[in-house]
Structure 1
Amino acid sequence: MSDWHSWAAIVIFTATYTLIISEKVHRVAAALGGAALMLAIGATNDVSAFYLQDRGIDWNVIFLLMGMMMIVGVLKKTGMFEYLAIWSVKKAKARPFRVMAMLIVITAAASALLDNVTTVLLVVPVTLLVCERLALPSAPFLIAEVLASNVGGIATLVGDPPNIIIASRAGLTFNDFLLHLAPLSALLIVVLVALCRFMFRRTFVYDEKRATEIMTLEEREAIRNPRLLVQGLIVLALVIAGFVLHPVLHYEPSVVALLGAGLLIAVSTVETGEVLAEVEWPTLAFFAGLFIMIGGLIDTGVIGEVSKTLADAMGGAEQSAAMLLLGGSAALSGVVDNIPYVATMAPVTEQLVKDFGGGSDHVLWWSLAIGAGLGGNATAIGASANVVVLGIAERNRRPITFWQFTKYGLVVTAVTIALSMGYVWLRYFTFSS
């Protein structure tokens, strides 16, 4: 890492990250500016930035987001989210904490079947309406859902994009993830609900008047376009089936989402321009800039050097290696998006597994998946779902600041990582046969 490009890339990334944290410059402008500087100094180039998925813009992520945003945009016109908002509040008896707990569980369960970004795109509109109806601040509810989406996402192969990378490299199946990580995910969701009860305790103010008004509402009256709702739900069901059947169909989630969006526009009467207006273009631009910046760190060898240092620090003990890989992955994934991080660490982990003679029941791979998935909760830009929710909140004039998210994310990450270390230690080293 003696090349000046490496140090320049570190300076640019650090400066950009500082601007994002300080919020003195809009995060989209900061990310695109940082990306431009990476290209200008030659830390990366057009080929890496635009054509190489493992070190540039991950177009699968961009187009997955765009496709799902278009589908959600159509569903918003049907009144479906108003229906779900009224239904969920009535089921929870309009009690704020019960509402939050219900949304956390729903988000986590959906994130295990869909990817976590798709889940928050579907749940956030409902949440905003719930908070409006109950006159509650939306930020605590949105933050809780993002945290739940990342915790729920580790449970299955399709729940979080890094899991797909790990499964491909390690030869793991959907059932492997379900057997090894779903129990941990379920435990951590229970813990998350308890943490939210404490962290957001001042939010749970019960307004009897508003609660009474909502309990008298008829949710079916919220549906404005039944035909469009049926069309939208059929397409959404097909898209979800496409996600789940990825191992059989071999269609990338981005392709499935775009096919679904195109089909929905084709069969419905909604204008294409109206649908495109629902896309969070600033969020997509932010992701593009972030991917290019991280690509600069990869191309100049910075991330590779960090990964090698981490590998060297592991020594020869598999238990120490698993703990360090889990904790180190969590720390780095809070700063660097977990997709390129896992893409970089996967070959390092593969070599470590070989060095340990195959490893104990893929424990190093599980450590990488857990650390990268849960570490994304640490900061507002640690995972794709975080960025998407902040973008939607800003668009709806209910902005969530970097530190407002991060002060809660750090607490949840610290607790969940500590419990995960205990889980890995007990399951794979204490009680393993």
Structure 2
Amino acid sequence: MSVTAVLAVAVFAAVYVLIATERVHRVTAALGGAVVMLVIGATEPDHAFFSRHSGIDWSVLVLLAGMMLIVSVLRRTGAFECVAVWAAKRSGGRPYRLMVLLILATAVLSPWLDNVTTVLLIAPVTISVCERLGVPVVPYLIAEVMACNIGGAATLIGDPPNLMIGARAGLNFNDFLLHMTPVVAVLILVLLGLSRLLFRSAFRHDPERADRVTHLRARDEIKDVRLLVVSLVVIGAVMVCFVLHTTLHLEPSVVAITGGLALLVLSRLNTREVVGDVDWETLAFFAGLFVMVGALVQTGIIGDLGRSAASAADGRLLPTSMALLFGSVIPSAVIDNIPFVASTSPIVAEVVASSGGREEAGMLWWSFALGADLGGNATIIASSANVVAVGIAERSGHHISFWQFSRYGLVVTAVSVLVAALYVWLRYFALA
């Protein structure tokens, strides 16, 4: 390992500690780490700013910005409050029943939207309903983002790493439905059970508040009917384009920013106020994180990790599947799973090819996808959805610390990966 690679690892570790301990704000730490990576020569401006695989992934940032614009406009219609009242009434004001409802809603939406979009849409609803019922917001947001990461694993478009894996492996939408959806359905049920145990202290029922909410009418929360109709039409068009983006030859980022700008124009709202609602801190954090991870790619660190995990079983399909599944979890938990998958998927392609390219070797891709997707639940920075959810919570006055998230995330990740390993063994080996 070169001196530069050692320095890059040291810088990344230092930034990670600063984020974990919250001694420095995460945005300052990430951007500062990115600058240091450039100064020590671990990456170069051409790679840091213009390479999708070893620098800032502008498509992710543009997609986020576009969806944040849409959410900013939609918030002004009262739609979130309307859905919050509906959810509170359906749950009868019972905290655990509410969590089940929100987890299931998230799990249903996430496979068809991307998980970041789902978080952007459902987090404001969650905050509103929790505040109305007087229950702590943070446990509900954490449970939802975990449901989002699990649910998003079900389809090609549900989680950005799946798009990268599909493109590299030649897998289509139906392939993901056939191979990933069954285990995702089981994992959501497991999450419901774990949530009952992990968040039991949050289930404080306030009969008085619950009674007040159940007497509200959801439709009374709508503030601007015209704007709501326009917003729903634009969101519907964006969702259709997301699903058909390969047929339309449009990147999701282009769809999102087009929809966001179109809605901004059609809304007739004050542009400065709407744009001011965009979470620029979260976008800056992503930019810094991308540059730091890109430096690890440039110095060969991530590639070495991927090769070690993939080759540990010496080409045998079952051990290799397990190596890819468990070996993908740790890097995905430590860094955002988007750059990890981008840098490691070529290595997986080589492993599949070295296995003779046999059709049955396809389970290696599913093992890799499960490890990368499920590892996204372990820490705050492991998934784009996590970072976005934490940003939304912070802007609403609800702080989620690194260790608070990880205390639950590590448990959910460990159980989920064990269930996924059992699924891979049963489906592709024991019952094949």
The match for 1:368 is 368
Structure 2: gaps spanning 5 or more residues: none
Kindly provide the amino acid, as one letter, of the partner of residue 393 in structure 1. A
Kindly provide the amino acid, as one letter, of the partner of residue 75 in structure 2. K
Deviations 1:208-230 (A, max 9, x none): 11111011101111000000000
Deviation (angstroms), 1:361 = 5.5
Secondary structure at the aligned position of 2:377 is classed as coil
For the 8 Å contact 1:228–1:268, the answer to whether it is kept is: yes
The match for 2:386 is 386
For the 8 Å contact 1:116–1:159, the answer to whether it is kept is: yes
Kindly provide the amino acid, as one letter, of the partner of residue 398 in structure 1. H
The match for 1:261 is 260
Q: Distance in 2 between matches of 1:239 and 1:369?
A: 26
After TM superposition, the structure 1 = structure 2 runs for residues 179-198 of structure 1, keeping only pairs within 5 Å, are 179-198=178-197
Kindly provide the amino acid, as one letter, of the partner of residue 411 in structure 2. V
Kindly provide the amino acid, as one letter, of the partner of residue 410 in structure 2. L
1:99 aligns with 2:98: yes
For the 8 Å contact 2:315–2:351, the answer to whether it is kept is: no
After TM superposition, the structure 1 = structure 2 runs for residues 113-132 of structure 1, keeping only pairs within 5 Å, are 113-132=112-131
Deviation (angstroms), 1:307 = 1.7
Q: Distance in 1 between matches of 2:218 and 2:308?
A: 56
For the 8 Å contact 2:66–2:253, the answer to whether it is kept is: yes
Kindly provide the amino acid, as one letter, of the partner of residue 56 in structure 2. I
Deviation (angstroms), 1:316 = 2.5
Q: Distance in 2 between matches of 1:142 and 1:361?
A: 37
1:204 aligns with 2:203: yes
Structure 1: gaps spanning 5 or more residues: none
Q: Distance in 2 between matches of 1:254 and 1:94?
A: 38
For the 8 Å contact 1:361–1:428, the answer to whether it is kept is: no
Deviation (angstroms), 1:317 = 1.1
Q: Distance in 2 between matches of 1:260 and 1:293?
A: 30
Q: Distance in 2 between matches of 1:166 and 1:316?
A: 20
Q: Distance in 1 between matches of 2:47 and 2:159?
A: 24
The match for 1:60 is 59
Secondary structure at the aligned position of 2:125 is classed as helix
The match for 2:401 is 401
Deviation (angstroms), 1:308 = 2.0
Deviations 1:125-181 (A, max 9, x none): 000001100001100000000100000010000000110111111111100000000
The match for 1:347 is 346
Kindly provide the amino acid, as one letter, of the partner of residue 314 in structure 1. A
Secondary structure at the aligned position of 1:90 is classed as helix
Q: Distance in 2 between matches of 1:415 and 1:309?
A: 24
Deviation (angstroms), 1:265 = 1.4
1:250 aligns with 2:266: no
After TM superposition, the structure 1 = structure 2 runs for residues 133-148 of structure 1, keeping only pairs within 5 Å, are 133-148=132-147
Kindly provide the amino acid, as one letter, of the partner of residue 195 in structure 2. C
Q: Percent identity?
A: 53
The match for 1:410 is 410
User: Post-superposition, which runs of at least 4 consecutive aligned residues in structure 1 deviate over 3 A?
Assistant: none
Q: Compute the TM-score of the two structures, normalised by the length of structure 1.
A: 0.98
Q: Distance in 2 between matches of 1:316 and 1:265?
A: 53
Q: Distance in 2 between matches of 1:4 and 1:331?
A: 24
The match for 1:276 is 275
For the 8 Å contact 1:97–1:197, the answer to whether it is kept is: yes
Q: Compute the TM-score of the two structures, normalised by the length of structure 2.
A: 0.99
Deviations 1:310-336 (A, max 9, x none): 233121211000001000101110001
After TM superposition, the structure 1 = structure 2 runs for residues 165-180 of structure 1, keeping only pairs within 5 Å, are 165-180=164-179
Deviations 1:82-123 (A, max 9, x none): 000000110111111111001001111111000000000000
Deviations 1:35-94 (A, max 9, x none): 000001111011101111011000011011100001000000000000000001101111
For the 8 Å contact 2:309–2:324, the answer to whether it is kept is: yes
Task: Assess, with a 3 A threshold, how the Cα gap between structure 1 residues 361 and 301 changes in structure 2: closer, same or farther.
Answer: closer
Secondary structure at the aligned position of 1:44 is classed as coil
Give the RMSD, CA atoms, in angstroms: 0.8
Kindly provide the amino acid, as one letter, of the partner of residue 68 in structure 1. M
Q: Distance in 2 between matches of 1:351 and 1:302?
A: 18
Deviation (angstroms), 1:269 = 1.2
Q: Distance in 2 between matches of 1:312 and 1:429?
A: 19
Q: Distance in 2 between matches of 1:287 and 1:316?
A: 35
Deviation (angstroms), 1:358 = 2.2
1:159 aligns with 2:158: yes
Q: Distance in 1 between matches of 2:335 and 2:20?
A: 14
Deviation (angstroms), 1:282 = 0.4
Deviation (angstroms), 1:380 = 1.0
Deviation (angstroms), 1:357 = 1.6
For the 8 Å contact 1:390–1:399, the answer to whether it is kept is: yes
After TM superposition, the structure 1 = structure 2 runs for residues 6-85 of structure 1, keeping only pairs within 5 Å, are 6-85=5-84
Q: Distance in 2 between matches of 1:381 and 1:324?
A: 23
For the 8 Å contact 1:31–1:286, the answer to whether it is kept is: yes
Deviation (angstroms), 1:303 = 1.0
Q: Give the total of aligned pairs.
A: 431
